[in-house]
A and B are shown apart, each in its own frame.
Chain A
């Protein structure tokens, strides 16, 4: 059914028309907050006094942030957590998705469902559950470690005493990383599965006929075809990891943990704004974080697409 000539879109106008709904919403709900935040970064503002209480202070907030011990500490925490939770996610999700894709037929939905459930669980539930599971004396994680430590070989790797997950600065980071991994590995599996759908089956058939084994097919066919999705997934993990907020927030009760070892930059921002009532500094820090994320995203971009955009 063709539209009358008058209403038909030419290829020239089409992108503008297609994008316009998105752009309109974006201009209102995306650009204004962005601009406001940028403006705020140059002001000194104690929010409860109202909008008129903003005072221009130039780069003062940025200077403060760059000199602030806690800001740098939060960046280090964030980097550690982003890597420790992000890398395993993909290293595990890709082979897992491939395995599920090729080996499970009837049980496929169930298995993927199981891995995806953590992503669905609400933060409230996660907070309560993991506080209980990570409890020092009776939490099931310590109980599990204890049981595994009875096995002779494993006992070399596992701690002998119950780990004080939530209170010991050294162990709160691994605890957070574990939760983040648990929560998002299924999400990545679903993404990779969707991408695996688009690889034509005949390529595999041809390869099998040429005598390539499963492992070879994985490395030479699957991985390269997945490159766009890996780029997508890794970018999301970089961005998400650097902005990590929810999991450390709920595990440390919004404070960042003992010695601020669980305090990511996003949490520190939040505390600057809502606990310490210093919105100007919080905005400045969010833009500094923004710079870090932009740089890393650009590096990811370069790593995956060295020669410019390609399909």
Chain B
């Protein structure tokens, strides 16, 4: 009985997982297909199923209407800066929350979690006020610095540290005479690699796709990041669907590349049992 189910179950599971993967990818595929059609074709029923030949003309509309490559550059810069800063601040903070006891620890953590519970668009006006007071309007640092205090990031890091780094290890290192900073840098950080990879990926994606932040802070089209820039193609009556899909498709590519690169870090490779 056990033998049969052991053989049958994996086979069926492979099929289900495979079909699931195709369903997951289908809309993605259509995005690329739509990117190669003109808007009249996209807007028709049934929609096109295979690639067309309007890619270049869509690209032309795209680059005519906005400084597309420049916006892409800004998106990259902001996302990278955001990721690095967030990883640094949140790993430090998460480690502190998980491994140390200090005054107001729970209250502070509660407050941090509290900010996660308010919808981000409610912050638009106060954020605008702060950015103006700091003089950061129309500057990229207004996009990557605030995000480094990510409640999600700290939450993830704290979870990870407390569940996969034993206190004894830290104590042992302290007794060996290691300074706090080097404990952090040489013991904790390497053990956090999967979490860092995950948080890094998620932060990059969130920064890349964020459009409310740039909407509040950026004023000149040359400073826009991609999602905001692409919105200029949309209007209630006159959307350039083809160019929009082309822009979205191109905008997705760096994320795909990033995922491919980091997935090796994240998924394969790490030996379990590195703790001991």
Contact = CB atoms under 8 A, between A and B. Distances in A.
A193 B89 CA distance: 24
B54 to A, nearest CB: 15
User: Do most interface residues of chain A lie in helix, strand or loop, or is the interface mixed?
Assistant: helix
A8 B202 CA distance: 33
Contacts of B156: 232
B47 interface: yes
B231 A124 contact: yes
A10 B177 CA distance: 11
Nearest to A231: B159
A19 B27 contact: no
Interface residues of B, number: 106
A122 B227 contact: yes
Interface stretch (A79-87, A154-162, A168-176, A198-206): A198-206
B72 to A, nearest CB: 13
Contact of A202 (B42, B182, B205, B273): B273
B194 to A, nearest CB: 4
Given A9-B179, A200-B273, A130 B122 contact: no
A311 B162 contact: yes
A228 B162 contact: yes
A32 B130 contact: yes
A293 B117 CA distance: 7
Interface in B248-264: 248-249, 251-252, 255-256, 259-260, 263-264
B120 to A, nearest CB: 9
A300 B151 CA distance: 18
A103 B10 contact: yes
A120 B27 CA distance: 12
A306 interface: no
Contacts of A309: 162
Interface in B103-157: 105, 108, 111-119, 121-123, 125-127, 129-130, 145-146, 148-149, 151-152, 154-156
B237 interface: no
A30 B149 contact: yes
Interface string A128-149: 1110110101101001000000
A52 B125 CA distance: 14
A66 interface: no
B195 interface: yes
A15 B179 CA distance: 13
B252 A125 contact: yes
B93 A120 contact: no
Contacts of B88: 21
B148 A286 contact: no
A273 B6 CA distance: 56
Contacts of A49: none
Given A33-B126, A33-B127, 20 more contacts: A3-B179, A22-B93, A22-B148, A29-B130, A99-B13, A100-B17, A113-B256, A119-B205, A125-B27, A128-B42, A129-B34, A138-B45, A186-B24, A198-B275, A213-B6, A232-B155, A239-B117, A269-B121, A283-B122, A290-B114
Interface of B: 2, 6, 10, 13-14, 17, 20-25, 27-28, 30-31, 34, 42, 45-47, 88-90, 92-93, 95-97, 100-102, 105, 108, 111-119, 121-123, 125-127, 129-130, 145-146, 148-149, 151-152, 154-156, 159, 162-164, 166, 174, 177-182, 184, 194-195, 197-198, 201-202, 205, 209, 227, 230-231, 234, 241, 244-245, 248-249, 251-252, 255-256, 259-260, 263-264, 266-268, 270, 272-273, 275-276
The 4 tightest CB contacts between A and B, nearest first, are A138-B45, A25-B149, A114-B21, A15-B100
